[in-house]
Amino acid sequence: MQRSSPAIAALCVSVFVVGTAEFLVAGLLPQIGSDLGVSVAVAGQAVTAYAIGTVIAGPLVAMLTVRLPRKGLMLTLMAVFAAGNAVSALAPGFPTLLAGRVLASTGHATLFALTLIVATTVAGPDRAGTAIAAVTSGLTVANLLGVPLGAALGQDLDWRFPFAVLTALALLCLALMAVTLPRVAAPPTSVAAEVAVLATRPVLMCVATTAVGFAGVGAVFTYVAPMLTQVSGFSPAAVSWLLLAYGVGSLLGNLVAGRLADRSAGATLRGVFACLTVLLALLPPAVLHRPAAAVAVLGLGLLATATVAPLQTLILRRAGAAPTLAVTVNVAAFMLAHAVGSVIGAGVVSTAGLRWTGLAGAALSLAGLLLSYLAVPRRSPRPPTTNSASPPTTSSTSPPTTSSTSPSATVRMLHDRRR
């Protein structure tokens, strides 16, 4: 993957910048509210506006741009993202800030999806999981460093400054992608084909696995800081270090899962969900003891993002020659899962207390595990790795391969074009 390293690095940095924008506002709510004359609760709607914009606009943008060349589309979406952050930085009032957030979010899911598709194209079909993990590590680093640093800058200087920095970084990413990314023609597909692929049972099951299984992480992680202070008895400073360990664990878990997904995405996914279910089920007794709680937080970090690479790899393999809409919807499903998990966790906290969010998370992760068996039969064969230039063969028992039945057709076709 040496020749593809500059492109992969540019995509990783782009995901870092876009991922930082997603949660940046959460650390700036008091400053935004004070400056724009709204309450903290109202200021929090800037987070909601970005999430809603991503979930709704993502599939629409993916369908409207399905026949456009991939590189040009990515550069355009990054430019729109930069413009949205510039509007947010210069917003004279809260409605304008909301408009900037929505504008920045419109291309989020599609841009994220295209980074994964292009990454697997330049890396080759046999390194799809590794390429996806490398790119999505940018999102992990955003949560680990980008969001806290942005919040610190906003608190020390002005809440507008982080948005200005994001604008500059987005323009830098645009330049990096323009230089490093290969020209990738639009796939020979249509809106009808993209919708048809999304509606197939394997793809729908993968999306459902994402939406349900990842919600288990959201149900717990949203309330992990107060749980560690109020139940486990850690100091706020100690919790900060534990969250740092969680972030480092997430980065490592994502990279390891990517390599394992190259061997067997289905087995990797089931293994992660099984371990996650057990860990979350043991969380209520573990948080009563500080050493056990620390180990549980590190374990949660290792497993939380380890579902991303195998799930996205499976989506790409099952989407055939029309992957953009399916991958975009799956990206939106991750965001939806986090939001739904947070709501479920809030219900558990209000009725039973912080200690018991792990049980809700375990139930959701177990549901994700069961859905993964429907998405990927246990003995599902790994996609062939023969040279795609070889002539196809048919027989009376083996029907010709089509775009809907060739799991890695898109990645191979685009990779061969680049070659």
Residue with tokens 């139930």: 363
CB atoms within 10 A of CB 363: 18
Distance CA 270, CA 267 (A): 5
Of the candidates 156, 163, 157, 28, the one whose C-alpha atom is nearest the C-alpha of residue 101 is 163
Q: How much is the pLDDT for 52?
A: 81
Per-residue pLDDT tens over the stretch 254-282: 888 888 888 888 888 999 999 999 999 99
Q: How much is the pLDDT for 369?
A: 92
Distance CA 322, CA 68 (A): 13
Which H helix or E strand runs over 244?
A: helix 236-286
CB atoms within 10 A of CB 236: 9
Asked whether the beta carbons of 416 and 387 are under 8 A apart, the reply is no
Q: How much is the pLDDT for 285?
A: 94
Angle at CA of residue 71, ends 66 and 75, nearest 5°: 100
- Does 295 score more than 90 pLDDT? yes
CA distances in angstroms from 202 to 160, 193, 323, 376, 380, listed in the order given:
44, 15, 13, 7, 12
pLDDT level of residue 182 (50, 70, 90 thresholds)? confident
Residue with tokens 């492109």: 7
| Total-model pTM | 0.72
Positive or negative torsion for Cα 220, 224, 229, 234:
positive
- Does 232 score more than 70 pLDDT? yes
- Does 231 score more than 70 pLDDT? yes
Per-residue pLDDT tens over the stretch 53-112: 888 888 888 888 888 888 889 999 999 999 999 999 999 999 999 999 999 988 888 888
- Does 335 score more than 70 pLDDT? yes
> How high does pLDDT run on average in the chain?
80
Per-residue pLDDT tens over the stretch 320-334: 767 778 888 888 888
Distance CA 276, CA 93 (A): 43
- Does 292 score more than 70 pLDDT? yes
Give 242: exposed, middle or buried? Use CB within 10 Å, 0-12, 13-18, 19+. buried
Mean pLDDT of the region 147-172: 84
Q: How much is the pLDDT for 247?
A: 81
Angle at CA of residue 180, ends 168 and 53, nearest 5°: 50
Instruction: Considering only CA atoms, give the Rg of the chain.
Output: 21
Q: How much is the pLDDT for 379?
A: 54
> What does DSSP assign to residue 26?
G
Q: Where in the chain is the domain with CATH 1.20.1250.20?
A: 1-186, 189-380+403-408
The first and second tokens of residue 359, run together, are 């049980």
DSSP string, 149-166: HHHHHHHHT-THHHHHHH
Q: How much is the pLDDT for 147?
A: 66
Q: How much is the pLDDT for 378?
A: 60
- Does 149 score more than 80 pLDDT? no
* Residue, of 294 and 22, whose pLDDT is higher: 294
CB atoms within 10 A of CB 41: 9
Asked whether the beta carbons of 267 and 342 are under 8 A apart, the reply is no
- Does 26 score more than 80 pLDDT? no
Mean pLDDT of the region 304-321: 81
Distance CA 14, CA 3 (A): 19
Q: How much is the pLDDT for 288?
A: 92
Of the candidates 379, 377, 381, the one whose C-alpha atom is nearest the C-alpha of residue 406 is 381
Taking domain 189-380+403-408, whether its CATH number is 1.20.1250.20 is answered by yes
- Does 14 score more than 60 pLDDT? yes
Distance CA 256, CA 300 (A): 15
What are the residue ranges of helices labelled H in 37-127?
Answer: 40-43, 45-64, 70-89, 94-105, 108-123
Give the N- to C-terminal CA distance of the chain in Å, as an integer.
Answer: 14
Per-residue pLDDT tens over the stretch 373-417: 887 766 544 444 434 333 333 333 333 333 333 334 444 444 444
Q: How much is the pLDDT for 408?
A: 42
CA distances in angstroms from 68 to 76, 195, 389, listed in the order given:
11, 17, 25
* Residue, of 388 and 238, whose pLDDT is higher: 238
| Overall CATH class of domain 1-186 | mainly alpha
